[in-house]
Structure formats: structure tokens, C-alpha cells
Amino acid sequence: MKREIKKYLFDIKVSIDSIFEYLGDERNFFEYQKNKLLRRAVEREIEIIGEATNRILKIDSNINIENSRQIVDTRNWVIHGYDKVDNVVIWGIITKHLPKLKAEVEELLLN
């Protein structure tokens, strides 16, 4: 695997870890929803995850990241549709998709 891809994978891992650090162990949706600074921080990390994924796909479109295209699409939605960002959708991404993405990225980094 190209070194550049590993760098982007590492960036994704750092952003996922940062999101979980920001949310703490409790991961309370209602606290997330009422804290604008927290929401914006999480959204920024999602943008980074999407951009890093996009750059990886430009180098190797066959990279083994499930839902890679949706990850990039989410980044575009957060950036370009900032006024339509839905906290419930973002929370679903955090709780359902990020743990799986983190495992995929960690596995790729081992290779």
C-alpha cells in the first residue's frame, strides 16, 4: 500500500478517535444536540474523514473501505448543505458507522 494512502487512513483514524473523545464515554444525543460547539467539531471531523476517503479513492478506487462513496457524499452534504445538516443523521453515523469504519481503517493500517 502506498505511503500516501496510509497517511490518509491515519487521518481518518485520528478523526474518528477525536469524535469519540469529544463525546466522552456517555455519548448522550441530547447533550450533543444542544452543544453547538460540539456539533461543529464533530461535523469538521466528518469533513476530514470524507476528504481523506476521497483522496484515497483517487489513488486506489479499489480500496477495501465499505461505503467509501457514501462517506465522501456525507462530507459533501455537511459542507455544501450546512443548513440542512440533520443531527439525528449525524448521530446515526457516529453510533452505527464510525465504529465499523474505525475497524476497517485499523485493519488496513496493519497491512
Distances (CA, A) of 41 to 21, 45, 90: 11, 6, 12
DSSP string for residues in 13-65: HHHHHHHHHHHTTT--HHHHHH-HHHHHHHHHHHHHHHHHHHHHHHH-TT---
**Catalytic center residues:** 75, 80
* Cα–Cα distance for residue pair 42/23, rounded to 1 Å: 9
Q: In angstroms, rounded to a whole number, what is the distance separating the alpha carbons of residues 58 and 60?
A: 6
